[in-house]
Structure 1
């Protein structure tokens, strides 16, 4: 028969296990631990009874309280739509310029638009709508397809190079890759285009660039290189460049071409939501320093 040993310091029985001179004591579980275990089990039992809990074959236990978060969310959405319907109808009926002149309607539109823009547009154009490499700024006056409210509404509706049947189509040809222009010709026309916004180049290079431009670029960007909003062709005489205006970026643009893309929002955003975005962007542009 084994004799149980006690730890001489604490008086607790030992388990008989020892590791490197350290003896394991057979101590009691602290009361606080038992209290915690009992309370949590009681609470779990109460939750099982009161709340939706256990999954069944085709349903789940509903609980005595009969709570349903799905129904609660649906009710809140309905209530929000009812609260919104009054001023949303006013925005739907009013022209964009009238909304911009009405401080109350403008505040309602821009307050809602911030969320719509963040969910749908900020991923490309940035939270401040300032754009970035490959994505145009929406707070300046350089709009490829026109920056008036009607043009913005239409662009939002049909997109650019999108699957929508009425989408806007625009593509910069790959003049170098497809063999229409050689490297030196592209370098010359790059210098010429940069000279349109103030860079000085030799007269003979400017003349050669003007000829290349007239033969290959003027049909889209115009004889004066001021662009054409009917074709989505940008102005080449200002300092606004979507893909960059330095030598390397411009050479890449002319050599390989460009084809931007914007989704058509008609299937995702309602006409009222698209108008709210139009008001928001117009208001941003008016407030932004140019």
Structure 2
């Protein structure tokens, strides 16, 4: 039988393990640790009894207190909807001028619309409505389909080139691909469009100016400033949806463009759409 060795300082026996003269003591677990373990196990037992705890196939133990976070959340949402029912009804029934004239109501509209924009519009139009390739900038005062809240609400509702029966529709023809213009004419028109920052020169006898009047003026206007509400943008400003460099313009003329904006009628409520329209309408003002 091995001899039991006891540490002369603490009085505890050793385990027999020795590391370079350092011997491991067979000391008991501290009382504080034992008390902590007992308390935590008792707390867990109480939690099992009082709270939803154990999964049982498709259900779970409900607990004596009957706490259900899903039900609580639904109740909180219902209470919030009840609390804002009055002013949300005003968003649907009042005209935009009346909403703008009420500072508190307008503030509620903008505050509520901000996350709606972030969740539904920002992925395409960018944070703050800064736009991007193929998606118009909303934070300037350049509008294709009209920039009033009523115009914007209509665009949000029906979309552009969407499956809504009343969708706004616009398409830039593929002048090159469909052989309406040859490559030389496409190049000529590309250079001409880049010179339009000051508008069309009346009576310009150049071949490029004549090609523009014959092929483009019907949509973009004889002065190239676009026709709001038709989807044809102004070509004399610095706002470009697909890019104003030579390569982008050439690509637009060659292969055409047909943007798409979905209809939001089935995803957003009428009140949401109207608040969002007011939010987008005021974006240029906030961007200054």
Output the TM-score relative to the length of structure 2: 0.86
Report the alpha carbon displacement of residue 30 of structure 1 after superposing the two structures with TM: 4.6
Matched, 1:284 2:283: yes
Distance of 1:198 and 1:178 partners within structure 2: 30
**Structure 2 unmatched ranges of 5 or more:** none
CA gap of 1:130–1:4, structure 2 versus 1, over 3 A, is: same
- Please list the CA deviations of residues 156-214 of structure 1 after superposition, one character each: whole Å capped at 9, or x if unmatched: 1011122222222222233334443333322211221121104999x99x812212222
Aligned length: 286
Q: Is the 8 A contact 1:226 1:234 kept in 2?
A: yes
- Name the SS for the 1:14 alignment partner: strand
Greater mean alpha carbon deviation, residues 68-77 or residues 22-31: 22-31
Residue deviations 1:45-73 (CA, integer Å, cap 9, x gap): 11111111112244221111111111111
1:130-166 CA-to-partner distances (Å, cap 9, x unmatched) read 2222221112222121112222111110111222222
Q: Look up the match of 2:255.
A: 256
**More displaced stretch, 239-248 vs 265-274:** 239-248
Q: TM-score, normalised by structure 1?
A: 0.86
The answer for the alignment partner of 2:124 in structure 1 is 124
Work out the CA distance in 2 between the residues paired with 1:27 and 1:108: 67
The answer to whether the 8 A contact 1:173-1:254 is kept is yes
Please give the alpha-carbon distance, in whole angstroms, between the structure 1 residues aligned to 2:36 and 2:187: 77
> Shift of residue 272 of structure 1?
0.9
Who is 1:184 aligned against?
184
Task: Say if 2:244 is the partner of 1:245.
Answer: yes
Q: Do the aligned partners of 2:176 and 2:254 also contact (CA within 8 Å) in 1? A: yes
CA distance in 2, matches of 1:190, 1:197: 13
User: Once superposed, what is the RMSD of the aligned Cα atoms?
Assistant: 3.0
Give the conservation status (yes or no) of the 8 Å contact 2:199–2:236: no
Look up the match of 2:87: 87
- Give secondary structure in 2 for the equivalent of 1:197: helix
Distance 1:21 1:229, change over 3 A: farther
Unaligned runs of 5+ in 1: none
